[in-house]
């Protein structure tokens, strides 16, 4: 598996919100993504959100190494069911460095997904709160996200408000 160990975490545990981690049931753990999550259902959880495509273990590990090479920019969180060893929820924070706001930082929340069998346990809410913690800890002046209109009320419950429109041009 290349030059990284399967249990290498994408980022330090200092970025894990202790209040969110402590609020999880004892058989769940909040942590950073690791290469072993390829086999633990990480991509299947994302497939419940959108098209993932076919990603080999080699491609996954190469992409993980790229993310690892950019410390402070990519934070992929997972919630693992410790009884099954499966990933049941995930979310990502990308930290963008701006020129505006005195070269400030903005956190972009992406790819919030919860396994269909685990919905209703507020795992998505916990992922959002944990990503907000990372945004604050990395010095972001705000976290932003795009969502479908049918998901707006979920994000309102997470403390977010509608602040405009998303525009897209697909290639």
Instruction: Indicate if the pLDDT at residue 3 is higher than 80.
Output: no
Reply yes or no on whether the pLDDT at 117 is more than 60. yes
The residue with tokens 């969110």 is: 20
Asked if residue 26 belongs to a domain, the reply is yes
> Which residues does 53 contact at the CB level (< 8 Å), separation at least 6?
none
pLDDT for residue 13 is more than 80: yes
pLDDT at residue 2 is higher than 70: no
| 102 is a domain residue | yes
pLDDT of residue 1: 43
Q: Give the distance, in angstroms, between the CA of residue 12 and the centroid of all CA atoms in the same chain.
A: 14
Q: Is residue 130 domain-resident?
A: yes
pLDDT tens digit string along 142-157?
A: 999 998 889 999 999 9
- Which has the closest alpha carbon to 127: 103, 143, 106, 149? 143
Residue at 6 is within a domain: no
DSSP 150: G
In this structure, what token pair is assigned to residue 15? 């970025």
CATH of the domain at 56: 3.40.630.30
In angstroms, the Cα distances linking 11 to 31, 73, 113, 127, 150 are: 9, 10, 20, 15, 32
Asked whether residue 57 is assigned to any structural domain, the reply reads: yes
Domain span at 115: 13-157
The DSSP symbol for 116 reads: G
Average the pLDDT over 46-50 and give the result: 95
The answer as to whether 170 is a domain residue is no
pLDDT computed for residue 132 by the predictor: 98
Six-digit token string for 89:
């929820």
The reply to whether 167 falls in a domain is no
Tell me the two tokens of residue 9.
């975490």
Question: Mean pLDDT score of the chain, rounded to an integer?
Answer: 95
- Band (168; pLDDT cuts 50, 70, 90): confident
Residue 169 lies in a domain: no
> Taking residues 109-128, what's their average pLDDT?
97
Structurally, the chain folds into a number of domains equal to: 1
Euclidean distance between CA atoms 20 and 68, whole angstroms: 24
pLDDT tens per residue, range 73-98: 999 999 999 999 999 999 999 999 99
Structure tokens of 66?
């790229």
Strand order across the 28-32 sheet: 28-32, 74-81, 86-97, 105-114, 140-145
């Amino acid at each position: 598996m290349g030059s990284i160990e399967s249990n290498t975490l994408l980022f330090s545990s200092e970025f894990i919100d202790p209040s969110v981690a402590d609020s999880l049931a004892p058989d769940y753990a909040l942590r950073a993504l690791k290469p072993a999550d390829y086999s633990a259902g990480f991509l299947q959880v994302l497939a419940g959100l959108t098209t993932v495509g076919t990603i080999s273990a080699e491609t996954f590990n190469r992409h993980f190494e790229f993310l690892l090479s950019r410390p402070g920019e990519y934070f992929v969180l997972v919630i693992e069911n410790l009884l099954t060893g499966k990933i049941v929820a995930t979310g990502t924070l990308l930290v963008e460095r701006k020129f505006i706001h005195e070269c400030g930082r903005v956190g972009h929340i992406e790819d919030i997904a919860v396994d269909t069998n685990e919905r209703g346990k507020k795992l998505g809410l916990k992922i959002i709160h944990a990503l907000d913690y990372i945004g604050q800890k990395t010095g972001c002046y705000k976290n932003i996200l795009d969502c479908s209109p049918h998901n707006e009320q979920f994000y309102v419950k997470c403390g977010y408000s509608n602040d405009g429109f998303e525009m897209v041009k697909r290639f």
